[in-house]
Amino acid sequence: MIMLVGAAVDRPDFESWLGDLAASEVVGVASGDSDHLTGANGEMLRILGVKAERLAKGLAWRDIMPPDQLERVFHALRDVQTLGAIVLADVLRPTGERRPVVMALVASGRRPTGWVAVVVGLAVSGHSVAEPLLRKLLRMGQAIGDIELSGWSFARPDREGGRLESFPSVHAGGGSSPGMAVVARHVTEARALRDRLQATVDRQRTALVDLQHSLLPDVPSDVRTRVCARYSGAGTAVDLGGDWFDVLHTPDGRLALAVGDVTGHGLFAVGAMARASGAMRAYICDGYGPGEVLARLNRVVGDPSFSAYATATVVYLYEASGAIECAAAGHPAPLIRAAGGAVRAAVSTGGMMLGVCDHTTYATSTGTMAVGSRLLLFTDGLVEHRGADLDQGIERLRSAFAALPEEASPDDAVEFLLTSCLSFGPRRDDVCALLFGRT
């Protein structure tokens, strides 16, 4: 509840304006002197929690203010004649309940010195009546500032809703009569619209999440005990991106592991991801090596109809011998963790991002994985954080990978890495992590 004074002593129409305002019963209006309230309308009485008979018997400031705030209020009343006053205080109701108010006081021009308080309720009801009356005070002087407040009516707490109140201070000609005015704006509908908009965003995001997961493949049953693939969408709004993973067997029996990332977010990125991941899988199934798979995928992404760029990594693995072949296109290098915790990159050099230049070639690196080693492929959402250096993110991942418990299962290992690397605030990008353990 806001106690608001509006008084322009040099205006002949002030008494008429005040009478209209009091009669509206939409806002509380009270008047008084330095010791007592001498008049109040129905809304004001509801705020104070008293009946008209109690006011008629005499209602002193001491009756409605907590003892610890009386001195401050009396100082404000003393200064009201020359300066006006704004006081943050509580109203003490007969039940002992304290309710916060802001009291803005000015002299009414009556003798002895009097004041007028206008109490503006924040309940939605009556808004259309109150605003035209309150706007009249704005025309009494020049606005020199405002304060924004919002809330609900203490006088009528059973009524849901809210208004946003602007309180510009005003003065009459020559600046001799300080005062205040209020313009109330209905915000219940705005809040409802905001809630509906958020619900729409949530539905869109859920649909994108479902679509994204439906496009990602299942891990082949014969390697599920050794492989964990995890996709996690962006943490805010409809920010799902174009990350993907794939796990499949090549025609000659090797295990192919791949991750990729299409630039952008939203439905377009998800659709582009579907095209890129589908093309990559087709080239792997046709028997092309990692470098050739990326070269052919580069031509798909570079087609004008694709309208995006992408990065990707492809690894082929002979499970029996641990021999690996790896190629990367603008993508973070996979990491290999040896038993004991030593971590190294699986590929020494990478090629250009997909879609940037026609006829780009991609070199294939070779290496081996010893028994007990783990191979990690990931997208940049795992290592990129707003305001942080990319190298720091990669080093954080390497440290977490090295600290991985030896006995951790593939699922537990991925969860450990995600927790270690993504606990630095809301994420703006999605993440894919694909881990293989050679046993």
Instruction: Give 13-44 pLDDT, tens digit per residue.
Output: 556 656 665 665 555 677 777 678 888 888 77
CA–CA separation, 118 vs 40, rounded Å? 9
Is residue 396 a contact partner of residue 421, using CB atoms and an 8 Å limit?
Answer: yes
Residues in CB range of 329: below 8 A, 6 or more apart: 294, 297, 298, 310, 311, 312, 313, 350, 351, 352, 353, 354, 360, 362
**Are 138 and 38 found together in one domain?**
yes
Q: Report the DSSP beta bridge partners of residue 117.
A: 30
The model's confidence at residue 78, banded by pLDDT at 50, 70 and 90, is low
Structure confidence at residue 373 (pLDDT): 95
**Are 417 and 273 found together in one domain?**
yes
Element (H, E) at 313: strand 310-317
Of the CA atoms within 13 Å of residue 389, those in its CB half-sphere come to 4
Structural domains in the chain (count) = 2
Please give the backbone phi and psi of residue 144, each rounded to the nearest 5 degrees, phi first.
-125, 10
**Are 391 and 261 found together in one domain?**
yes
**Are 85 and 177 found together in one domain?**
yes
Element (H, E) at 133: helix 127-138
Handedness of CA 144, 150, 153, 154 (dihedral sign): negative
CA–CA separation, 45 vs 86, rounded Å? 21
Quick check: is 193 in a domain?
Answer: no
Quick check: is 195 in a domain?
Answer: no
We report the CATH number of the domain holding residue 147 as 3.30.450.20
**Are 232 and 121 found together in one domain?**
no
Quick check: is 392 in a domain?
Answer: yes
Please give the residue range of the domain that contains residue 268: 214-437
CA–CA separation, 293 vs 202, rounded Å? 37
CA–CA separation, 344 vs 336, rounded Å? 5
Quick check: is 315 in a domain?
Answer: yes
Quick check: is 169 in a domain?
Answer: yes
User: Tokens standing for 269?
Assistant: 């990125």
**Are 179 and 277 found together in one domain?**
no
What's the chain's average pLDDT? Answer: 75
The pLDDT tens digits for 284-322 are 999 999 999 999 999 999 998 898 999 999 999 999 999
The pLDDT tens digits for 88-120 are 567 788 888 877 665 655 555 544 445 555 444
Sheet (strand 431-437) strand order: 227-232, 431-437, 374-378, 335-337, 343-345
Quick check: is 207 in a domain?
Answer: no
User: What is the Cα Rg of the chain in Å?
Assistant: 35
Mean pLDDT, to the nearest integer, of 5-9?
38
Structure confidence at residue 86 (pLDDT): 54
At 37, the amino acid letter reads L
CA–CA separation, 269 vs 234, rounded Å? 13
Indicate yes or no: pTM above 0.85: no
Structure confidence at residue 102 (pLDDT): 55
Quick check: is 399 in a domain?
Answer: yes
**Are 394 and 350 found together in one domain?**
yes
Element (H, E) at 316: strand 310-317
Alpha helices in 216-334 (DSSP H): 267-285, 290-302
